[in-house]
Every structure is written in C-alpha cells, then in structure tokens.
Chains A and B, each alone.
Chain A
Amino acid sequence: MSDFDFDIIRRSWPLMREATWVSIQVFAWSLVLASFIGLLFALMRLSNVRALRWIAGIYVWIFRGLPALVILFFAFFWVGRVLDLTSFQAAILGLGVSSGAYKAEIIRAGILAVDNGQREASDALAMTRAQSMRRIILPQGIRVMIPNYVSNSTLLFKSTSLATVIGLNELTGKSRQLANSTFKPIEILTAAGVIYLVLTSVLVGAQVLLERRYAVKA
C-alpha cells in the first residue's frame, strides 16, 4: 500500500463538497416528507374510523417490508416516468415514503405513551379530539418520540447514499466515481466516511439538545 495521499483529497474536495450538499438537500426534503407522512399515518392508525386504520396499517406493512432500494426503483422507474421526475425528486419521494412508514410507528408509539388521564382530563374540559391531540397529547408525546425519531433520521441521512443507484450525484456515488478515476479508493472513500461521520455526529448532537429542550422540568 502506498502512502496516504492527502493531496488527492484536497483536489477532489470541490466535487465532494458539491455532492455532500446534494446529499444534505435530499435528506432535508425527504425528512420533511417523511415527517408529514408519519404524522398523518400515525393519526390514521389511531383513528376511530376502521377504514383509515386499515389503510395506515397496510401502508406501514408494505413500506417497512420492502428494501429502501426497491422503493427507490419504484419511485424512479415507475412514478418517476409517469410524472416525469428528476432523479433528485424521485430520491426524495422514495426515501420520504419509505422513512415515513417508520416515522408513523414512532409517532404512534409516542402518542400511546401519553398517560390516559391526560386524554380523559381534556375530554372533561370539553376539548375536541383535534384540540386535545394538538394541545395536550402531541406536546407530551414528543418527549418520548425524540430519541427514536432522531436515530431514524440518522438512518435516513445514511440512506440518501442509495440514490446513487438511480443516477443521483450524491456523496457516496460521487466518491465511488472519484475513487475509480483517481485510482485512490482508500483516500477518497475514507474522506467520504469522515464527512458522513461528521454530519451524523451533528445529528446525534441535535438529539441531545432536543432531549434537553423537551425534558421534564423538575
């Protein structure tokens, strides 16, 4: 093995930085989509209407049962062709839909963890179901959701690497190309690993801050 070549990393940096930014954008948008889907389907699963519960249950079963890669293929080759999506948009759709199924379960568990007395009390105060959910249940459920929610989001960030398979120039795919063209796979792939580690560590830091923010004040 030759010596570790820092120069190649320095020269590849502009391209890698660009690709990192693509990864971050895909992550941010699919997180928004997944959170929206997650909340919607969590509420549907807890609904009084049986049909809504079924639909949400089937959604979670299907999208947690399939590899994210297969969902991305659907998003790109099927939905993407019908709606004429770019690989960037298809990646957001696929990852959002896939992660949304996990988020739904996490949010549902958080809601169920809130003490029943809270629900009864808000009933007694004549709040509507929507009101009690928004004002009483969700704010308390968030505390329980945070750890799982953030670690699932960290997984989502790492999953953005899959988008290379549908032709998106994100960090993992770009690094692989660079590794091929420079014949320095160790340097380039290690650099990519460091970038991912820094960014996932930021997310873990965010988790600690969020947990502190939502901790019960004693």
Chain B
Amino acid sequence: MTEKRFYQVGRKPWEWRLKPAGDAERARGRVPGTRRHWLKWRDVHNDKSLKRERVMVDKKPLWWTIGLVLLLFITPFLPNSMISVVSIFCIYAAINILWTLIIGTAGIFSLATLAVVGVSAYIAAAANVYLGVPWPFMLIIGPMAGLIFGAILAAPSTRLDGLYYALLTMGVAEICRVFVVQLRALTASGGAITNVDSFIPEDWFLQRPGLLLGFVGAFLLMLGALLVWRLVNSERLGMLLRVAKTSREDEAFAEAVGIDFRRARLMVFIISSAALGVVGAFYAMYYRSISPQIFSLDQLLLLFAMMVIGGLGRAEGAVVGAAIVTIIDKGLIELGPPRIILVALIMIGVTVFAREGLMGARNQFRDFRNRKAGERRARRTEKGGEAMPEEATEVHDKQELYYRRFNKRLRDKLKDMITPELIAEHQRDPLGHHSDALARVLNFFRRGEMADKYVIHRMKPAEEKFRIMAVSGARGMPPRVVDDREYSDIKEAYHAVFLLRVNDLLES
C-alpha cells in the first residue's frame, strides 16, 4: 500500500520528526544526579495520519555539540598560527560567556571583567614567580583573587545603577592599569611579569605540541565556562533573576513575592568573578607572562564588540561573536588598522539593524516576515473582499469563504452594469417597472446587511420632509444621520439612497 502523500502547505515551519512505532515504550535518559533529560523531546500525534511522532523542541544542544566537536577535531589539522588563533578564540569565548552571565543574567553592566581577569592573573603569576608556588596552585590562587576582587567590585553595584556603574568599573580598570605600570618592582619589564611557569613544558612553548596542549587547555576552559553558564543561568539563581529581569516593576514584583534579587545578583557577580579568576590564571600560564595590556581600553572594547556582534545576553552570541572578531582581528593580522575599523563597522551595522545581535536575527526576521504578511493580507482583504489563501486556512467556516467569493464576483458583474442610463432610469421612476439590469442591481441592494443599511426618515409626521439615515445594525442603538441634506419629495429621497448605495458598491 502506498502511503498517501501530504504536501506541506500552510504557515507552520516544516520540522524534522521521529516516527517511533506505536507500541514502543518511551525511554528517555536523565542527566545523572538530576531529574533533567538530556534533550527536550515532546511526544505528539499527527492529526491527519493519527500516528505517533516525536519532536525535538529545543535544538540548541544539538548545534552546540556539532560546533564544539567540529572545533575539537578540525583544529589539530590546522597550521601553527591558526591553532594559536583558535586557542585565543577559546579564551576570549570563555571570558565573554562569563561576562554575559554578569551583564545578561545578573543585569549588572560591568566593564571591569578584564580587570578581574588581569588582577587575578597578576596575583597568580606573582605567587608563582616571586613565591615559587607551583603552577597547579595558580588555578586555585587565581579564582580566590577573583572572588575577593569581585566581592569588592560588587559592593557598589547595588547602590549605583546602570551606566553609572559601567563608567565606575571603567575607572577601576584604568586604576588597575596605572597601578601596575607604576609598580617599582616591575618597571624594568614595563609592568609585565614574565617567565611564569605553565602547564605547557618550557621546551614545548610555541612548538606544535605545546600549541596543541595549549589549545586543549583553552578548549577545556571554554567548556568549563559553558558549564558555569549552564549551572548559574539555567538553575535556581538564573530562574530567580529572570523574574526581576526587565523593568523596575518586575523588581518590585520579585521583591513582593520574596525573591532577594539583589543578593542573587551579587552571587552571580561573585561566582562569575571567581570563574574569571581561573581564566586569569590560565591566561598568565598560556602566554607564560602577563602585561598591563590586559587592562587597556582597546582590549576591553574588542571583547565588548564580540558580545555585541553576537548578541548581548546570550551564550551562543558570546561564542559566535568571539569567533567572528577573533578571526578578523588575529587571522587577518596583515591588514593592519583597517581590520579594527572593519570590526567597528560590523558592530555599528549589527547594532543599527539587529535588535539582539546576529544570534537574535532569526527571530527578528520571523517577526518582520509575519508583520509584513499580516499587512499584505489586510491590504488585500480590504481591496478585494475575497479571502486570501493564507487567511483561508484560519477561517473555520468554509461556507463563509464560498459566500465571499460569490459576493465578489457578483459585485464585479454589477459594477459593469451601472451606467448613466441606468441611473437616469432610476431617477425617472424609482419604484416602477425596471429594466433587467436595474432590477438585478436593486435586488443586490435589498440583500445587503442590516448594519449601515440606508433608510429614509420622515422628519415630521404628515409633512413632506425627508432625510437619509443609516441603521446601526445593533439592537437598541439608534440610526445615525448620514448627511444634513433634506428632501421634499419621497422620489428624490429614494434616488438619493440609490446613489449612495451605488457609490458604496463602486467603492467596494
């Protein structure tokens, strides 16, 4: 038996569905230790075929897996310079993901992210170089430094709001830079700490095995940042903060239902700062040195551009933006200053045209398309009166569609019949014997709907004074006067009504 084929007509986007056997049991794995499922499947049944189907509602995990696996397997085959570009991309992506956590989830517009990275990198590197702490402990010292610095930074964030805090943190970054540059112990190296011990053995540094090891480390760092993102944004803290996200009213609401959103924000800020501390320690180890360049405004703006291009407040935006900007900035390095101009132009273009960066472009395009389709439909229904195909799918009573089509054709026919002779004939004799054409037109008018139907009103009993009104069509609502003209002869009034109706017909 051949299966009947259905064409995909209509406005639902086509999507890929599993068709499990009807009697198969449903088996879904859970993430160990939690009650969450790995993927978000939904069981539905098809209205037409009455068969069981399975839809993946959230396809993002799929795209993440594909992207990350591709990155992991393609990188070892790239040339040396590209491997370091990919590693830098991973580090930047990690910083951006954590920054997104601060700006998007916590809603604190902090520009001191790189300052946190830099401070913890400096403290970890100093511990290694001057105190002789072995490198694995840097990964503990870094986050501790980040935690403390983050806690200090977070303190004024509850008092100051929005842009004030942003500019304050920019000032903090500048203070850090000036402080490091002024340190007497570091003046010989221009403020940099060099010869930091690293997880990459010294004789492998800048060699292919060392680069590959560095890449693996950076990749793990990015995965770690994504894990932090997932744990903070999608678990309890993120859910609490989503209540108080958009506006001041939401904050009041959150407070009223007992959510201490300020504390939750501080928690997110401090957790991300600690995670940024890990990034800082890694950064110092990856380059085997750390310089005041990390506090500079240019570097900060470059990272900010990444987030803006990808879309502020989204993890995938942070990663995609980092990829685009790193490829332009580090991959096309022979271009010179124009590549930064290119980044800036992309940033401006994305901000002018896209509401939420490149990653939000799909939704924005869908909204745009739906709006345009709606506008077009409205225009066409208004003009023709006949239902358009895409509207027809939404009208439940199909009889209505056929009536509209009939009515439209009838009106088109009647419009052709209306001639000056016909109008003259009606004026001559509104009630008497009519020609075939006039009789058809009048019959159509008689069938008209009650709402807005014209009627003649005798203004005073036993007096020949008429005017034209239109009934409201609703019970209890009085008719309204159409115009202020008065007619002394009933035949004149009949003809005036006829002219109004002809006018309406021709305009429809």
Q: Do A and B come from one complex?
A: no
Chain A positions within 8 Å of B, measured between CB atoms, are: none
